[in-house]
């Protein structure tokens, strides 16, 4: 079973739409969770950390469900500039490598 | 805002040659990492480095690979005797602690011919 799984998409949504991505992780000992954004042929850039209580940053909301072992990312009022691949990353408490999902591709259409 | 830098941005090499990829992590970070991403695939962990030694490595990081922190600022990945399948984007990352956010450099695109 893969450490981290994501629906690769693609998600094609109109401007202004709300879109949600989920990411499941297999190891219950996982400790830290992150969403990264990756533009084509660029490095992953941190979008937000995911805390147990959930957190919000402007149009972006991240949530963690430990019982079901998934994290989610909600994007409200999608902008054209949100078009990118969204990667979830998970870190266990026994090591310091990040396990990345394959990424979910989002295209926001005018 | 401090950032991770990497050189070169692109490297083309012949199969069997050695390459050294260079990284300058964020200055107050203590943990350093190398990842790679083959075109169209996910980001894969290679190795982590802390306190001047490897703290974790993946199955990909075999004897062909080595890392070094030759001075107080640089962190290098050496690939000996490159193979065609080593062609990928190599990202360096750094973090303050082992569980906090890892910040990625812009990557080195390696092409092995």
pLDDT tens-digit map of A34-61: 999 999 989 999 999 998 888 999 999 9
pLDDT band of B2, cuts 50, 70, 90: confident
What pLDDT does B73 receive? 87
Q: Which tokens in the block code for residue A84?
A: 């990118």
Cβ partners under 8 Å of residue B62, min gap 6? none
Token pair for A25: 């992780």
Q: How far apart are CA A14 and CA A62, in angstroms?
A: 21
Q: List the alpha helices (DSSP H) in chain B.
A: none
Q: How many CB pairs under 8 A join A and B?
A: 60
Q: Which residues in chain A are closer than 8 Å to B99, comparing Cβ atoms?
A: 31-32, 91, 93, 96
A59 and A77 Cβ atoms separated by less than 8 Å: yes
Give me chain B's average pLDDT, please.
94
Note the pLDDT tens digit of each residue in B32-62.
999 999 998 999 999 999 999 999 999 999 9
Question: How is residue B86 annotated by DSSP?
Answer: G
Residues A106/B67, Cβ–Cβ less than 8 Å: no
pLDDT computed for residue A107 by the predictor: 97
């Amino acid at each position: 079973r893969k450490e981290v799984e994501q629906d690769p998409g693609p998600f094609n949504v109109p401007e202004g739409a709300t879109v949600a991505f989920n990411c499941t992780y297999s190891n219950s000992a996982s400790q830290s969770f992150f969403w990264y954004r990756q533009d084509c042929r660029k490095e992953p850039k941190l979008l937000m950390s995911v805390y147990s209580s959930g957190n919000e940053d402007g149009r972006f909301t991240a949530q963690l469900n430990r019982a079901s072992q998934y994290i989610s990312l909600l994007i409200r009022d999608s902008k054209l500039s949100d078009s990118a691949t969204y990667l979830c990353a998970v870190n266990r408490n026994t090591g310091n490598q990040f396990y990345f999902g394959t990424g979910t591709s989002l295209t926001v259409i005018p | 805002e401090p950032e991770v830098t990497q050189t070169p941005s692109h490297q083309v090499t012949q199969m069997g040659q050695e390459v050294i990829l260079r990284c300058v992590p964020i200055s107050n970070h203590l943990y350093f990492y190398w990842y790679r991403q083959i075109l169209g695939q996910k980001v894969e962990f290679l190795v982590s480095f802390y306190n001047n030694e490897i703290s974790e490595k993946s199955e990909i990081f075999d004897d062909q690979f080595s890392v070094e922190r030759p001075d107080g600022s640089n962190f290098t990945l050496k690939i000996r005797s490159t193979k065609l399948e080593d062609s990928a984007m190599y990202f360096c990352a750094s973090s303050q602690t082992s569980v906090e956010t890892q910040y990625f450099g812009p990557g080195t695109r390696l092409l092995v011919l």
